[in-house]
Chains A and B, each alone.
Chain A
Amino acid sequence: MPNSQPAIQLDRLSRHYTMGETSVRAVDNVSLRVASNEFLALLGSSGSGKSTLLNLIAGLDRPSSGSIIAYGTNIATLSSLALARYRSNTIGMIFQSFHLLPRMTLEENVELPLRLAEVDYADRSARVREALERVRLTHRFGHRPTELSGGEQQRVAIARAIVNRPKILLADEPTGNLDSATGESILNLLCELQRTLGTTIIMVTHERPLAERFADRLAIMGDGKLLSTSAAVKEQVQ
């Protein structure tokens, strides 16, 4: 069960774009609290603003107004360099299309965040192995991403996301490119990480049934606004 320590606190968060003469409110005045070790699913139709919200929490985008408090720090006011450090040390990201670097082996792909975080060379190998063990892919160490199935590639992406031991895991449609069985196995893996590593997970999806089965709480978005939040019916389904 999630404890009461907030991992993320969004306060009247907005992100507006100007397209020609019209202003698009991608995220509009959203306030949300995500507890530490919580698994939150962000649901909504296409263009509802859920991915934009995820990018704001990830520090990849900057809000037009409002604040994003991540473990006590308002990342909306951080410098570009501090934001990069935040992404490196606090956030792990998983994408719908995996975004593995095709010319690198699995090991090298997983090692990449360690290079960026300037982790000691001596520690890297063990941490890469540990991350790949958690996603049960140690036997494919030297393979390249193109030699793996979609599910395996997503597991590599998860290993890459957790190798730097982030407190928050952000997943943008992690099952979007996978068949339902593989998608389920990926979500099982995420739950396992939440349980074993104590990671806070925020997942963007539009597959409500899956979200209900695996997430602790659902947040529904529409037109950039947070329409509702509700506890998932995970226990009943299980």
Chain B
Amino acid sequence: MKTRDLTDLALRNLREAILRNALTTLGVAVGVASLVAMLSLGVGLQELASKRLSQSGLFDTVIVTPKNNLRGMGGPARREAEADSEKPPRALDEEARHEIEKLPNVIEVYPQVRFFTEVRFHSKPFATVVAGMPESSKNSGSFDGIEGNFFSSPTADEAILQIEFAKELSSDTRSLVGQDLALRYAERQALPASSDDAATNSSDPAAGGGGFSVVPKELHLKIVGIVETEPAQGFGGYGNARLLIPLRTASTLRAAQVNDLRDIVRDSSASKITYPNLSVRAKSPSLVEPLELAIKSMGFSAFSLLDASKSLRTFFSVFDLLLGIFGSLALAVATLGIVNTLVMAILERRREIGVLKALGAADSDVRQLFFVEAGVMGFLGGIFGVLFGWLIGRALTFGTNVYLKRQNLNPIELSSVPWWLILSAIAFAILVSLAAGLYPASRAAQLNPVDALRYE
């Protein structure tokens, strides 16, 4: 039979016992809905966790340091190793930065600017860590739910406060937005011998050949926002920064940083402008590993929290699998409904099957007819199931957000129904329905036409 005729006859048959077939389809829909709701929850939670992790910058960032400058590992053994190496370690300079920027899957490369300093607000001193935030962090999710705004420009003299720090400044944190504070910091000024070099570089290298002097400076910043989370911006430094300023603004300050003295002592190739370290952001955590290897092959030390990201992915794979299995239980029950409906249909349409065979229908025609009926029930059940599953996910998200709002927390997307989930849920429903139709279809195909025609 032609496909059009087959489909037409199958739809007729389905319409004939509309109530029973609709109930069977509803059973499939409920099964698919439970599967979709479970998996959408798994996907949603995974996205939520990934988002939070990417906000923290922990898993998509590689910290690059020169080989002779591995933070915290400058013990005697290390120095011996360096002494053994015939090749001088490569400097982390502007050229290296451009080279790293050209590597595949690199979003951006920026130096970490982070220093401990004093802030004056209404003439009272407060100690805190200041960090320069790259412009890209605006869209990374780190500033979701910000009170106020992100920096108006990458070079603005503006500050965003972390909520805990804001609370130290004022009990009414909202009123802080728009006010000024004074940032007092120690500016490095290169000694006359290499002052030219230092002046041409705005992004703070670790000083010139002869060392540097430190001069106290003050910068007035306008508070533009208050943020709940602590955008960690990599994992260097000492503790999370609580006062955030634009990275380029931070760079121009040439504020003395914690490693400066050590770098000066170690670095003898003084004439070059070098960075103490660079943060390299990859497009996704899964791309960090090849990126780290590529950077290492360039002659630098690279460090990332790769293993934690891997075990997180493993955890979610297992989590999704379990949710999928639980979600599939309802669908398994629904398939029994399909088997039951089609077996009933064989009994009811026994004579009709006999007539079809007498008129020239082959066994395969009858089999296909039942298959199409099962497939249509699966397809419709799949579509409605995805819709119901999505609605359940929305309801769960809504309920959770109502609760979170009462707790004064930011709303979250608890469930997520991506395209692959929609398509695979429908495909799975059809597949399962066809499998359920296997037995009834072959039973119908094997009916003896003489017996079937005699059946009243």
Contact = CB atoms under 8 A, between A and B. Distances in A.
Contacts of A55: 450
B360 A113 contact: yes
Interface in B343-390: 351-352, 354-365
Contacts of B53: none
Interface stretch (A79-87, A133-141, A174-182): A79-87
A87 B359 contact: yes
A55 B358 CA distance: 9
A87 B16 contact: no
A81 B357 CA distance: 11
A85 B363 CA distance: 11
Contacts, number: 66
Nearest to A157: B355
B2 interface: yes
Which size bracket describes the interface of A in this complex?
20 to 34
A231 interface: no
Interface stretch (A115-123, A183-191, A217-225): A115-123
A116 B351 contact: no
Nearest to A93: B358
Interface stretch (A40-48, A64-72, A95-103): A95-103
A99 B453 contact: yes
A104 B13 CA distance: 11
A115 B358 contact: no
Contact of A164 (B4, B360, B365): B360
B359 A93 contact: yes
Q: Which residue, B351, B352, B359, B360, has most C-beta atoms of chain A within 10 A?
A: B360
Interface of A: 55, 58, 60-61, 80-81, 84-85, 87-89, 91, 93, 95, 99, 101, 103-104, 112-113, 115-118, 121, 160, 164
Given A84-B357, A89-B360, 20 more contacts: A60-B453, A81-B364, A84-B363, A84-B365, A87-B357, A87-B360, A88-B361, A93-B358, A95-B453, A99-B351, A99-B354, A99-B355, A99-B358, A103-B12, A103-B16, A112-B356, A113-B360, A115-B1, A115-B9, A160-B359
Interface of B: 1-2, 4-5, 9, 12, 16, 351-352, 354-365, 448-450, 453
